[in-house]
């Protein structure tokens, strides 16, 4: 197996489940020491899986919708390992699925807090460390849902992730920092251990959600959802030195659905 992350200290946010967990396990398998950040206790299960395979990791429970939470992750990483070479910011995900006019004011704000602010705060927290060490790789997880239906606040948040990633790349290339984003497409994943919205969907909400699925498959040239591993492969590529001449890029991984930058 490749060991692209030997001697690399890698932060992964949202590491308790889904794509974030898949990224963390793959980084550890390729030799990285992984700092696992999440607000769910389930993140300890990811740590146990890594340690069972002989990998090194550290768990940090933090609310990444706050700057204090994001800073606590970087502080813990530096205290334990001395630096941060790779930061993969994965927290986000639409909470509700409905036409825009059906969203309440508080729901719109909650969607932006969930899918934009964790990446804004996490980038802000890790930048001083990467500037000080004059190097690092940041991969922010975006979405092809920047062109989608029934999740407009989420689309706006992920459009913000794309914009900040490209702008940060311009601002900090001179510091040896690469910043890219992966716009994930529809991805098959196990049921979430912690639902974003624990309230059962009404019949109308189920229809709205099914419309998202149908639109996602239709927009994909390959007419299917992808796997977690298909997303992980792209994320690790951009995080690694294999992509040493790539920065300021939003890479769509959606079977040919490119979304919109």
Active site residues: 154
- DSSP single-letter state for residue 243: G
Query: Which residues lie below 8 Å from residue 217, measured CB to CB, with a gap of 6+?
Result: 186, 223, 224, 225
Instruction: Give the length of the chain.
Output: 261
Retrieve residue 239's tokens: 């995080």
The single residue listed with the structure tokens 């990791």 is 57
In sequence order, which ranges of the chain are alpha helices (DSSP H)? 18-29, 43-52, 67-81, 105-115, 117-133, 152-172, 203-219, 228-239
Q: For residue 107, give the nearest of 97, 117, 116 by alpha carbon.
A: 97
């Amino acid at each position: 197996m490749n060991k692209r992350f030997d001697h690399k200290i890698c932060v992964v946010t949202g590491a308790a489940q889904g794509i974030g967990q898949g990224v963390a396990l793959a980084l550890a398998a390729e030799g990285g020491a992984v700092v696992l950040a999440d607000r769910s206790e389930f993140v300890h299960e990811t740590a146990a899986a890594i340690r069972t395979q002989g990998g090194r990791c550290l768990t940090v429970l933090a609310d990444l919708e706050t700057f204090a939470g994001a800073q606590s992750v970087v502080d813990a990483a530096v205290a334990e390992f001395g630096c941060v070479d790779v930061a993969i910011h994965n927290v986000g995900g639409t909470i509700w699925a409905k036409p825009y006019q059906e969203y309440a004011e508080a729901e719109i704000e909650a969607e932006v807090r969930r899918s934009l602010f964790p990446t804004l705060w996490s980038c802000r927290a890790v930048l001083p460390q990467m500037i000080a060490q004059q190097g690092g790789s940041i991969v922010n997880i975006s979405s092809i849902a920047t062109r989608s239906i029934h999740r407009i606040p989420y689309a706006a948040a992920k459009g913000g992730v794309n914009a900040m990633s490209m702008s940060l790349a311009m601002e900090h290339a001179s510091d040896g920092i690469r910043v890219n984003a992966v716009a994930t497409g529809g991805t098959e994943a196990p049921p979430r251990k912690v639902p974003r919205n624990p309230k059962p969907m009404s019949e109308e909400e189920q229809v709205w959600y099914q419309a998202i699925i149908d639109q996602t498959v239709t927009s994909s040239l390959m007419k299917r959802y992808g796997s977690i591993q298909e997303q992980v492969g792209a994320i690790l590529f951009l995080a690694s030195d294999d992509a040493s001449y790539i920065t300021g890029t939003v890479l769509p991984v959606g079977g040919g659905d490119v979304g919109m930058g």
